[in-house]
């Protein structure tokens, strides 16, 4: 489960017929990058990966660390 502060932003070029979101959050003390959509049934995760160095810096800066 993703814990801590979750930072999100809208996405991105290709037209998938729904608004894809990007988020950075903590998963077991590791900063992760998520791509997901909000659907009627609730959030739907498209992909998750370990955040890159610049993404980790962005995440920690956004939470005031």
Q: Is pLDDT at 1 greater than 50 in this prediction?
A: no
Q: Which of 13, 15, 20, 25 is nearest to 35 (CA)?
A: 20
Q: Is pLDDT at 5 greater than 70 in this prediction?
A: no
How far apart, in whole angstroms, are the C-alpha atoms of residue 23 and residue 25? 7
Q: Is pLDDT at 26 greater than 50 in this prediction?
A: yes
How far apart, in whole angstroms, are the C-alpha atoms of residue 22 and residue 15? 15
pLDDT higher at 12 or 50:
50
Q: CB neighbours (10 Å) of residue 18?
A: 10
Q: Is pLDDT at 46 greater than 70 in this prediction?
A: yes
Q: What is the pLDDT of residue 16?
A: 72
For residue 65, the number of C-alpha atoms closer than 13 Å in the C-beta half-sphere is 9
User: Residue range 11-17: average pLDDT?
Assistant: 64
């Amino acid at each position: 489960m993703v814990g801590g502060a979750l930072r999100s932003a809208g996405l991105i070029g290709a037209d998938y017929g729904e608004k894809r979101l990007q988020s950075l959050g903590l998963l077991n003390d590791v900063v992760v990058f998520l791509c997901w959509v909000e659907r009627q049934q609730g959030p739907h995760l498209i992909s998750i990966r370990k955040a890159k160095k610049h993404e980790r810096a962005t995440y920690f800066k956004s939470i005031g660390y």
